[in-house]
Amino acid sequence: MRILFTFAGGTGHFNPLAPIARAAEAAGHQVAFAGQEVMLDTVRAAGFTAFGTGGDTFGARERQPLAAIDLQREELALREGYARKVAGERCPRILELCREWRADLVVCDEADFGAVVAAEALGLPHATVLVIAAGSLIRPDLVGEPLNELRARHGLPPDPGMAMLGRHLVLSPFPPSYRNPDFPLPATAHSLTLDPVVPDVAAPGWLRTDAPTVYFTLGTVFNTESGDLFQRVLTGLRALPVNLVMTVGPHIDPAEFGPQPESVRIEQYVPQASLLPWCAAMVSHGGSGSVLGALAHGLPMVLLPMGADQPHNAERCAELGVARVLDALTATAGEIGAATQEVLRDNSYREAAARMREEITALPGAGHAVRLLEDLVRGQ
């Protein structure tokens, strides 16, 4: 079986697909990826064949001031950015790739709408991998208009309910109880754990163990749109009796934060899987990948959402009792430090996160996803 994996965004859209692709290769299938040009090195570094589909939406950017959360702005970005512009640009290229590479199946991230339209136009089965944890951002009323226009351009009938988004198979790498109950999973969905916790993983050689470790990240996209947030969080957490590991991403130089005490480690990147088993809490922007990583390790959180799906995740984490949520624009260093102390000291946060960890651990893994993909192709 030849499986074309496609994703429309950055690292957070690629990462959930990678474990399925590795499991598919282990089962003897051929796999390749199609993504934006800026992501090709990342895909190839992970050991996969990669094809470019144009675009550079998530490339290097200048530092930007932090803006207040605007849910209408984020919905506009999804509708006009992903569902209209990105989908329209990617669909013809994925059509071409499917024909040239002779794909039997398309597996795409849930925001890669152009790949879904391309697969349907070719009569190929397709599976969607969810990358937005709470499930309340991608809605038919929001993306239906531009996607029906795209469908019409490729000879497909209208799809007013956007059944295309889950028509054949949906793979959800999130615990079912985490999803917003107002937006239930479709009948075609299967919940999985795609990046299981590895027992007895070795700690980084530089990690201190004389105090609890707190991990602070703003992800790989919003880190450059964070204004002074890194400095405020650093100041608040540095004052606590903890060891702090802070990652700033590839476009920020750790040296700009100046000399730090021995309890503070600032890196551009540290693999979550090698660090989170040794952490006591996480402070983050609330991106789906960061939240899932924390929950998979039973870690309580302090969340400072800035945009995209982050406000939805923050709301859901607060409802589930696994996190404190602060305003990224106005929270002071002292408030950030106090919230972090609270989630470290109040056992209710850790107990709620542990329940999520148990639910995640009980889910089937990537091998099950591959069997579902095989059944999908055989069924067609």
Mean pLDDT of 153-158: 97
| DSSP H or E run through 326 | none
Which amino acid is located at 93 in the chain?
R
Question: Residue 345: exposed, middle, or buried by beta-carbon count in 10 A (0-12, 13-18, 19+)?
Answer: exposed
Query: In sequence order, which residues have a C-beta less than 8 Å from that of residue 259 and are 6 or more positions away?
Result: none
Q: What is the tens place of the pLDDT at every residue in 83-107?
A: 999 999 999 999 999 999 999 999 9
Averaged over 256-260, what is the pLDDT?
95
Whether the pLDDT of residue 61 is over 70: the answer is no
pLDDT value at 339 more than 60: yes
What percent of the residues of the chain are helix, what percent strand, and what percent coil, each to the nearest 5?
45, 15, 40
- State how far the Cα of 269 lies from the Cα of 249, in Å rounded to an integer: 6
Banded pLDDT at 58 (limits 50, 70, 90): low
Q: Which residues of 106-143 are buried (b: 16+ CB within 10 A; e: fewer)?
A: bbbbbbbbbbbbbbbbeebbbbbbbbbbbbbbbebebb
For residues 70-90, average pLDDT:
94
Instruction: Please give the average per-residue pLDDT across 265-279, as a whole number.
Output: 94
Residue 323: strand pairing partners? 301
pLDDT of 289-333, one tens digit each?
999 999 999 999 999 999 999 999 999 999 999 999 999 999 999
Matching residue, tokens 């890669």? 112
Q: Which of 273, 227, 223 is nearest to 246 (CA)?
A: 223
CATH no., domain 213-361: 3.40.50.2000
DSSP 3-state of 122 = helix
Which CATH architecture is the domain 2-196+365-379 placed in? 3-Layer(aba) Sandwich (3.40)
Sorting pLDDT into bands at 50, 70 and 90, what band is 56? Answer: low
pLDDT of residue 195: 80
CA distance 141 to 134: 17
Query: So what's the pLDDT on residue 30?
Result: 98
pLDDT of residue 62: 75
Q: How many CA atoms lie within 13 A of 34 on its CB side?
A: 29
Residue 179 has pLDDT above 70, yes or no: yes
- The identity of residue 346, as a single letter, is D
Mean pLDDT of 224-245: 95
Domain ranges of the chain: 2-196+365-379, 213-361
Q: What is the side-by-side strand order in the sheet with 169-172?
A: 50-52, 30-35, 2-6, 105-109, 126-129, 169-172, 189-191
pLDDT at 233: 98
Tell me what the mean pLDDT of segment 341-363 comes to: 98
Res 202: pLDDT? 85
Q: What integer pLDDT is reported at residue 223 of this predicted model?
A: 86
Q: Does the pLDDT of residue 190 top 90, yes or no? A: yes
Question: What's residue 57's pLDDT?
Answer: 63
For 124-263, where are the E strands, in sequence order?
Answer: 126-129, 169-172, 189-191, 213-217, 243-247
Angstrom distances, CA of residue 99 to CA of 17, 21, 118, 224 = 21, 20, 10, 38
Percent of the chain with pLDDT strictly greater than 70: 98
Cα distance between residue 232 and residue 291, in whole Å: 21
Same fold, 2-196+365-379 and 213-361: yes
Tell me the whole-structure pTM to 2 decimals. Answer: 0.94
Distance between CA 341 and CA 41 in Å, rounded?
A: 39
**Which one-letter amino acid corresponds to residue 75?**
E
Predicted confidence band of residue 283 (pLDDT cuts 50, 70, 90): very high
DSSP-derived 3-state class of residue 196: coil
Q: What is the mean pLDDT of residues 335-346?
A: 98
Q: How far apart are the first and last CA of the chain?
A: 13
| 60 pLDDT above the threshold of 60 | no
The contacts of residue 292 (CB under 8 Å, 6+ apart) are 133, 173, 174, 195, 360
